[in-house]
Amino acid sequence: MIYKKSILNYLNIVIPKIVSIRELLTYALLLGLSAYLFLLVFQPFGTYNFENAYKFSLLSGYGAILSIAYALISIVLRKKRGTVAIELFRIFLVFLLSSFLNFVYHGWFINQAPLQWNNLPYIGCYTLSLYSPIAAIYFLLRVDRRHSNHEKNNSSMESLSIKPAMILSQVNDCHLPLVDIPNGNQPLKLLPSDFIFAKSMDNYCMIYFRKDGMVKKQMVRITLSRLSELLNTMSIHRCHRSFLVNFEKILVKEGNAQGFLLRFADTEDCAVISRSAIESVRPYLSD
């Protein structure tokens, strides 16, 4: 059960989404070019003995197939959340589509013969052998982007655009005492540095916080205004009528001047910055 929970937690880790066409095409081009260079340099699967005046041009087709497959699958998954699980699912779908397209390409353009479906499993194995190291490098780069963003957003002096006056008055949350948040007979005791964000639900708030290395959430009978007064630090601000956010905990921000969606490490739940609040919290957002 412990291993299962650890695996599920890892799969649910949030990583930056591919939101722009430029980024999508860049990944597609790099993956296709990597596949082509691999075939060009090592010439595996009998391609070394393949004799054709247009040999290297024909080999580039396999790279183009990977680029096309990646672009198509990414367009299909464009509305999905950015998580490790979705990234692995993307890689798997790209492999399946690439295998089929390689099978068609190999039959019609390389062999110039009718398709023989009993060759599909073999082409699938060749595709797996070729694309596995490329997919592994791609996945590690995507996860590394997540860690880079995490480090960036948790460095108060390097990542936050805070005005000089704010820097002089900033207080280290780690040295602040426990905040006693009233909640009937079971008050929630919380360090401001452990607070992530809260979502208002009328006279209740769903509070997200980190405890024992994990993100937890608890419904508390308190208004968002009162919670904001209790958690009064330089990094915690109200950015929406329904959200109170610790800006040092932001992992990824998505959006533009019309509004931002904020994502945090180890949870799929998000917070929102309203358009009217953007200017007031802009100094705390990463560039």
pLDDT, tens only, 105-158:
888 888 778 888 888 998 899 899 889 999 999 888 887 755 444 444 444 323
Q: What is the pLDDT of residues 123-138, one digit of tens each?
A: 899 899 889 999 999 8
Band (pLDDT 50/70/90 cuts) for residue 43 is: confident
CA–CA dist 215, 178 (Å, integer): 18
Q: Does residue 52 have a pLDDT over 50?
A: yes
Q: What is the mean pLDDT of residues 158-176?
A: 41
What is the rounded average pLDDT of the residues 23-34? 92
Which residue type sits at 263? R
Does 163 or 144 have the greater pLDDT score?
144
pLDDT (0 to 100) of residue 259: 67
Closest to 176 in 3D by CA, of 199, 194, 196 = 194
Distances, alpha carbon 71 to alpha carbons 2, 68, 127, 183, in Å: 36, 5, 17, 50
Higher pLDDT, 259 or 103: 103
Q: Which residue has the higher pLDDT, 101 or 164?
A: 101
Q: Helix H segments across 154-192? A: 164-169
Identify the bridge partners of residue 215 per DSSP, sorted by sequence position.
Answer: 210
What pLDDT shows up at residue 163? 41
Residue 64 has a pLDDT of 94
Mean of the pLDDT values across residues 20-37? 90
Percentage above 70 pLDDT, the chain? 84
Torsion of CA 86, 90, 92, 95, to 10 degrees: -170
Euclidean distance between CA atoms 133 and 210, whole angstroms: 36
pLDDT at 275: 83
